[in-house]
Structure 1
């Protein structure tokens, strides 16, 4: 007599079924991530709003509100652009994904933690300027966010299908971003006098990848 084939699923699911049961719709993860990123960007602006009443108490003019707090304004603008760019890459990573595993969801939580923590070093920059420790902390948080994003992109690329996984170009972009931030962190630690200039590497990873793709011949589709 044959045992009920469904019985074993109650005692222990197969690997494929267990993965399906523990998966999460990708749109739920991206919607939640969007909300957290929006809050993080809002938190970046709150210290700037607080500058106005403080300036009035100190007797500063309207122009001095800006000229006396260029460090705070510059760190806000830089961080706004950085978070916006990280968010757009995050969307590209999950653009074709329908389901995500529990492991991906856990890594995404680490990525969100980096985004939420970012206003802290930004506020330290506005208070302490480009002190070596503050700079290192700021770039380290950015690097950690890029590493977690790269881990998700690689995992989805390896486990997904051609229709659902992020493209090779997206994975290369994420990896290039992580590599640039790794170099920037090393430069900040080795030569803190450079200030924020090492982050300019983020402007060259895209053109550098485009040049590499142009110079590197690609195999035709279907060729091993």
Structure 2
């Protein structure tokens, strides 16, 4: 029995809307802080200095969500049909995106602790894992897209490399306080890790 499939346009539009809302929610804590600063008569310079953690966390999460969305766009622009399992994979991906503003607000306003790092970097890891799950599903169902198997395989290796680096960054952010979330800069090593994984695969 052939599984029921659906046109991908509504899924893509829905994902775009969810991402846009999540990116907008990231700024709300800062807007609230601006209102409080205005009521307290805080100067602009003092506000920027006092809330630099919020500003950095906002920019970091905004960039990361944008990167996740761009990867999602590249992955699904050549998907011809979607199935119910693929819809559930995308729902899981969107759940992580919608949740990210919560640990982002914690990161900008609360003292750093290991659980906070687990929530923040753990969310990023789950987003990447959902991206990987979509590629693996498309590899198993080649009629759903016009990607070549090799293209999907290379993309999956890239996702695995990012997941590995997130997992390395997590304990550093949690327990090496002088470095903290700068550990996420390890993602610049994605390409060398991908090449290593590709050699191991071969």
The TM-score, its normalising length taken from structure 1, stands at 0.79
Give yes or no for the alignment of 1:205 onto 2:190: yes
Number of the residue aligned with 2:136: 154
Number of residue pairs the alignment of both structures matches = 197
Structure 2: state its 5+ residue gaps.
Answer: none
Structure 1: state its 5+ residue gaps.
Answer: 1-13, 220-224
Q: CA deviation at 1:208?
A: 4.1
User: 5 Å matches for 1:178-217?
Assistant: 178-189=163-174, 191-193=175-177, 194-209=179-194, 211-212=195-196
- Give me the CA root mean square deviation: 2.3
User: Is the contact made by 1:24 and 1:100 (CA closer than 8 Å) also made in structure 2?
Assistant: yes
SS in 2 for 1:89: helix
Deviation sequence 1:4-48 (CA, Å, 0-9, x none):
xxxxxxxxxx2x2xx1xx212122211111110000000001111
User: Is the contact made by 1:114 and 1:145 (CA closer than 8 Å) also made in structure 2?
Assistant: yes
User: Is the contact made by 2:81 and 2:144 (CA closer than 8 Å) also made in structure 1?
Assistant: no
Structure with higher helix content? 2
Q: CA deviation at 1:153?
A: 0.9
- Quick check: which has more Rg, 1 or 2? 1
Give yes or no for the alignment of 1:97 onto 2:79: yes
SS in 2 for 1:138: helix
Number of the residue aligned with 1:115: 97
User: Is the contact made by 2:172 and 2:180 (CA closer than 8 Å) also made in structure 1?
Assistant: no
Number of the residue aligned with 1:49: 31
User: Is the contact made by 1:92 and 1:170 (CA closer than 8 Å) also made in structure 2?
Assistant: no
Aligned pair partner of 1:140 in 122, 125, 139? 122
Distance (whole Å) between structure 2 residues aligned to residue 85 and residue 208 of structure 1: 18
Distance (whole Å) between structure 2 residues aligned to residue 134 and residue 208 of structure 1: 26
Q: CA deviation at 1:171?
A: 2.3
User: Is the contact made by 1:26 and 1:99 (CA closer than 8 Å) also made in structure 2?
Assistant: yes
Q: CA deviation at 1:162?
A: 9.7
The TM-score, its normalising length taken from structure 2, stands at 0.87
Say if 1:163 and 1:152 are closer, same or farther in 2 by CA, change over 3 A: closer
User: Is the contact made by 2:5 and 2:82 (CA closer than 8 Å) also made in structure 1?
Assistant: yes
Q: CA deviation at 1:187?
A: 3.5
Q: CA deviation at 1:158?
A: 2.3
